[in-house]
Chains A and B, each alone.
Chain A
Amino acid sequence: MVTKTEQPNEQALDVNNHSAKTSSSQSKKWIKQLLKSKTGTVGLLIVVSVILMAIFADLIVPHSHSETNVADRLIPPFWMDGGSSEYILGTDNLGRDILSRIIIGSQVSLLVGISSVIVAGAIGLSLGLISGYYGKWIDQVIMRLVDSFLAIPNILFMLIILAVIGTSLPAIILVLGVTTWVIYARMVRSETLSIKERDYVKSARAIGANDMRIISKYILPNVISSFIVIATLNVATTIILESSLSFLGLGIQSPDVSWGLMLSDGRDYLATSWWVATFPGLAITITVLGIIFLGDWLRDVLDPKTK
């Protein structure tokens, strides 16, 4: 049960040497732990391959993702009757190769999914910390803001903003971020409220730590693990939210492509040509699972108790 993490004695007083050694032993420990956790390893493999796929998308696509070819429309995947080895995962209603579109679509989907979670997380985390820690009127203001965001339907809100500022990739990321920060703010606030009352925060005040220090060294490290869990789960939600924007014509526009857009394109053909929507859907599922696995592992790594 008790893992020994002893440092040799002579090291303890040698500052530079020591910190260098611990940082390398730290990363070694992380990797060791990652390999120990099977799901963590799987998650890392998935996430790394999706990222590589996005980076080298242009080099590996077998076909153009945007060129339409009406003659080859709705070809099923290669293993089915009428399938062709040219289009491994089949084609969509305009004759575009689904595999190529998934590869190119990963760029936008990953970017949108991860960046808007970062935007939302950053806003939610800071407002939640401030709200929970300071309380009083700041808390009131922030929480009323949260309430009003919850009261307005997400889609309506996004439509209005996008109609005003126009749709572009950064605009979509911003809008998705701004509409989903509430989840983090509420979670972080309630965690902060309970941690604030713990003795170790009192003890930080008793030694004269200022608010900044208490928030960053005593509260943040203790809310971060639940935050990571929620954030990784939300990458999925955001990717799907982006698809509904696309569906409404305010998301990614053709000829650009995202998994969400493909998903909504394929909706009309679900009954006759299931592959059009299924493969982008699978891509989302696998990626999200990878991110969740990785997030779980990250949470464990950040918790000193599991070391």
Chain B
Amino acid sequence: MTNTSEAPSADVLMEVKGLKKHFQVKKGYFKKEISNVKAVDGVDVTIYEGETLGIVGESGCGKSTTGEMLLGLMKPTEGSVTFMGKDLTAMNKKELREMRKDIQVIFQDPFASLNPRMTVEELIGEPLKIHTSKTKKEIRNEVVELLEVVGLNQEQLKRYPHEFSGGQRQRIGIARALALKPKLIICDEPVSALDVSIQAQILNLLKKLQREFNLTLVFIAHGLPAVRNISDRIAVMYLGKIVEITDRDQLFAGALHPYTEALLKSIPVDHPSLRSNYQPLEGDLPNPANPPSGCAFHTRCPFAQEICREKAPSLEEHRENHHAACHYPLYK
């Protein structure tokens, strides 16, 4: 493996600015009534080379939609995604296909993300077939190599996905993503469909591969413990916006946004001795088609004031490298 890591780790790999995705949902028989679901509503984030950025949030927060836009699989309504100096959102189909060599993805459900009619060899060799002019034999040798990298073996080349367990399938998916030696891999809930003991294997594997291939990872998940385990920095999303972003340890040591705080306290404890009488957040997640005015979190926020109902707070640096979108951040 040629490891061309000439850039220092602080180099910007991807710059996301003002990213928005609004879906128009037509209702009613005559399709008159149109509601605008703001799945992603203004996301700014910088991804540095070699880091792992975790994106956490609950369902409907727009984390997966953001992921698809970073991949260039979905056109944003507004905003730009600049990857190595080029704007993905301005690329045509052909340029995007070319760019796929550098940005890859690992999906959540290893049972759904592998074509059931392809063998392992075809699945992992497919990106090489598309992007290189390698011979069948060269491709097979690379596939065998990739299988070893992800902890499978070459006897499994001719098998079909259904012959594998969930963890093994996820390894196949990872090998497929690695085949073109990408710079950035977007992991969209890569472990949440797996058994506990397998989750740990996959998390460890991702960390190992990141070191070995100098990968940059965006790790999208709803499970904070897994995100904490793998990420260098963590962004917390709520209803289409990043509400807080900072280094991992900083986030766990002192969250600034009340939502982050609530999220951290909602996670079941590590040990029965840590049980508390914490009263969980009340209410449900608001409907993204009809988000609350002002700060989207004000309907559930224990500290909400008048201004929170009226004005949406912007993402500001309240401490060094610690940004939060809150009028009354939790200083402790």
Contact between A and B in the complex (any CB pair below 8 Å): yes
**Residues in chain A near residue B97, CB distance under 8 A:** 208, 210
Question: For the complex, what is the distance from the CA of A5 to the CA of B73, rounded to whole Å?
Answer: 36
Question: For the complex, what is the distance from the CA of A198 to the CA of B162, rounded to whole Å?
Answer: 16
**For B71, B73, B158, which residue has the most chain A Cβ atoms within 10 angstroms?**
B158
How many interface residues does B have (CB within 8 Å)?
A: 40
Query: Nearest CB to that of B72 among chain A residues?
Result: A206
Q: Which residue in A2, A9, A203, A304 is a CB contact (below 8 Å) of B154?
A: A9
Query: Nearest CB to that of B105 among chain A residues?
Result: A206
B218 CB to nearest chain A CB (Å): 13
**Residues in chain B near residue A204, CB distance under 8 A:** 115, 126
Question: For the complex, what is the distance from the CA of A205 to the CA of B157, rounded to whole Å?
Answer: 23
**Residues in chain B near residue A217, CB distance under 8 A:** 115, 118, 126
Question: For the complex, what is the distance from the CA of A115 to the CA of B285, rounded to whole Å?
Answer: 57
Question: For the complex, what is the distance from the CA of A200 to the CA of B136, rounded to whole Å?
Answer: 23
> Given A12-B155, A207-B104: A200 and B113 within 8 A (CB)?
yes
- Is A22 in the interface zone, CB < 8 Å from B? yes
**Residues in chain A near residue B159, CB distance under 8 A:** 5
- Is B267 in the interface zone, CB < 8 Å from A? no
How many interface residues does A have (CB within 8 Å)?
A: 29
Q: Is the CB of B160 within 8 A of A12?
A: no
Q: Is the CB of B144 within 8 A of A13?
A: yes
- Is B112 in the interface zone, CB < 8 Å from A? yes
Q: Which residue in B71, B100, B112, B140 is a CB contact (below 8 Å) of A15?
A: B140
- Is B101 in the interface zone, CB < 8 Å from A? yes
Q: Is the CB of A207 within 8 A of B130?
A: yes
- Is A221 in the interface zone, CB < 8 Å from B? yes
Question: For the complex, what is the distance from the CA of A22 to the CA of B159, rounded to whole Å?
Answer: 12
A interface with B by C-beta (< 8 Å): 2, 5-7, 9, 12-13, 15, 22, 198-200, 202-210, 213, 217-218, 221-222, 304-305, 307
19 extra A-B contacts, CB within 8 A, seeds A199-B113, A203-B105, A218-B115: A6-B155, A9-B155, A12-B157, A13-B137, A198-B112, A206-B73, A207-B100, A207-B131, A207-B179, A208-B98, A208-B100, A208-B101, A209-B130, A210-B130, A217-B126, A221-B115, A222-B115, A305-B116, A305-B162
